[in-house]
């Protein structure tokens, strides 16, 4: 189960985080353990997995980063002696079924194709740390906090290496577990999006938490309906998508070799804060009723659009994001954007079990099509901006039910247009992930955070922790923009 075991002696580090104007105390960090966890020896044969046209576009992306906070009212010694052995054993057993996460990304130069290679003994780095002096209630709060506050709990992927024959080798996943003595535990995850989209990764997390809670019983993963599905053949190669995606990969790997640097996330040095906003079931019900009526009264189309929880949540959040951005633009540039400027919204659609994608929900890899929406600034900033947003989002959701394959094929050109505009908001996450169901045996999570939204261009959307039918939306903005966003959202909700 363990390879390259390298425990670190009790090493105390005093960390003082520079969080702008916000007063943040120094913390005592104790690195308790550092090792590698692999699937049971001999349980998985050496395996090569091809990458599809849905995997390849993710090479330039920075790692996906998520934090799972749990209540844990026990001393660190209890965690190390009782909990950690079960946690690592269950991770090992789960990796037997989700072996690509312990594998390597093999990235050769053109004209060769990249792939995932698993060899017996491949492992995932696991760091265990003790964090003394932190206020877990503050770390898991919904109110605005400095966005760097959570960074110490995110694991770093090991550095990429270059083989003797000039092939880049990249790790796929890393884990960091932080113990807050007598208070809580945070499980920090980082993984390469090329290997798994959100649905596949959360399938792994649900499985790991279930195995851990059952004290190592992984027999449920022997069932075909619960086991990850790896067959890529069903995707095929519609209209030469693989060749086009390979060209994008070859361009990326050539640039990487020239610059000798992997994907980085350039984040503005402006003081930013992270906050979470909760829409209750009652608020969402009112919004759906109001927006449905407004769309019917203002629609010229014969086809009625379906106003779902996803549609109303994205509509109101998109409008509030635009208004907060416009407030910032007016302050800095006197607002010289024209009213005919197009603003864009991007959300990913899980294509599993959709027309053109004969894949089960357990398919492990990437199976996302980009839903790109645009509308004029004048329409979105007007008195019926939420109605405009709701109609275009609902229409795109309807189109994607049967036209996801077409959207996947033309995705690169749509994304290029969107990114070139400079006016776009992305949606990360999904309420379908059921993240608050992930119980490792310590109860439901206190809070889930997605750190990869720190660039400020995206917001994460998950189900509410507190009630069925509610939604949690988290985002990172400059403090001025966050103040404007909060005010806009409160004002919008009062109108319904």
Catalytic residues: 193, 439
Please give the C-alpha separations between residue 185 and each of 58, 78, 99, 145, in angstroms, as whole numbers: 30, 12, 25, 19
d(CA 351, CA 401): 9
Phi, psi torsion values for 105, nearest 5 degrees: -90, 120
Other beta carbons less than 10 A from residue 219's beta carbon: 10
Other beta carbons less than 10 A from residue 52's beta carbon: 18
CA angle 410, 416, 422 (to 5 degrees): 140
Collapse the DSSP code of 56 into the 3-class scheme (helix H, G, I; strand E, B; otherwise coil) and give the result. helix
Token pair recorded at residue 306: 């379906």
- Among residues 326, 254, 266, which one has the least CA distance to residue 109? 254
Beta strands 424-428; 458-463: pairing state: parallel
CB 40 within 8 A of CB 5: no
Other beta carbons less than 10 A from residue 383's beta carbon: 6
């Amino acid at each position: 189960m363990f390879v390259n075991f390298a425990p670190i002696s009790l090493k105390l580090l005093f960390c003082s985080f520079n969080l702008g104007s916000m007063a943040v105390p120094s913390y005592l960090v104790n690195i308790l353990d550092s090792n590698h966890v692999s699937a049971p020896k001999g349980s998985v044969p050496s395996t090569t997995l091809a990458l599809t046209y849905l995997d390849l576009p993710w090479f330039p992306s920075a790692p996906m980063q998520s934090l799972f906070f749990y209540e844990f009212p026990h001393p660190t010694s209890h965690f190390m002696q009782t909990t950690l052995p079960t946690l690592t054993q269950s991770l090992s057993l789960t990796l037997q079924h989700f072996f690509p996460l312990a594998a390597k990304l093999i990235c050769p130069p053109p004209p060769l194709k990249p792939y995932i290679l698993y060899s017996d003994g491949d492992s995932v780095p696991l760091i265990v740390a003790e964090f003394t002096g932190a206020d877990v209630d503050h770390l898991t709060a919904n109110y605005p906090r400095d966005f760097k506050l959570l960074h110490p709990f995110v694991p770093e992927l090991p550095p990429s290496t270059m083989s003797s024959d000039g092939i880049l080798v990249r790790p796929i996943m890393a884990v960091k577990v932080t113990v807050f003595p007598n208070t809580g535990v945070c499980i920090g995850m980082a993984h390469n999006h090329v290997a798994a989209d959100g649905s596949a990764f959360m399938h792994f997390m649900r499985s790991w938490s279930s195995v851990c809670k059952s004290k190592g019983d992984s027999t449920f993963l022997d069932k075909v309906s619960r086991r990850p599905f790896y067959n890529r053949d069903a995707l095929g190669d519609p209209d030469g998508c693989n060749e086009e995606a390979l060209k994008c990969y070859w361009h990326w790997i050539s640039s990487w070799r020239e610059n000798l640097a992997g994907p980085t996330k350039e984040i503005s040095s402006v003081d930013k804060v992270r906050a979470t906003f909760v829409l209750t079931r009652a608020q969402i019900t009112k919004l759906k009723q109001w927006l449905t009526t407004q769309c019917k009264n203002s629609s010229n189309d014969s086809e009625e659009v379906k106003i779902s929880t996803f549609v109303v949540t994205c509509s109101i959040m998109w409008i509030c994001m635009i208004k907060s951005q416009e407030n910032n633009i007016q302050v800095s540039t006197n607002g010289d954007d024209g009213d005919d400027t197009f603003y864009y919204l991007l959300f990913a659609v899980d294509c599993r079990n959709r027309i053109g994608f004969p894949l089960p929900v357990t398919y492990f890899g990437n199976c996302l099509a980009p839903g790109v929406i645009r509308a004029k600034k004048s329409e979105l900033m007007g008195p019926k901006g939420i109605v405009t947003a709701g109609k275009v989002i609902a229409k795109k959701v309807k189109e994607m039910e049967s036209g996801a394959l077409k959207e996947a094929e033309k995705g690169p050109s749509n994304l290029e247009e969107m990114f070139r505009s400079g006016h776009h908001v992305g949606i990360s996450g999904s309420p379908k992930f059921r993240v608050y169901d992930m119980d490792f045996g310590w109860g439901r999570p206190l809070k889930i955070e997605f750190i990869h939204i720190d660039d400020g261009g995206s917001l994460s959307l998950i189900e509410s922790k507190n009630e069925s039918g509610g939604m949690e939306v988290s985002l990172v903005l400059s403090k001025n923009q966050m103040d404007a966003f909060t005010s806009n959202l409160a004002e919008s909700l009062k109108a319904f």
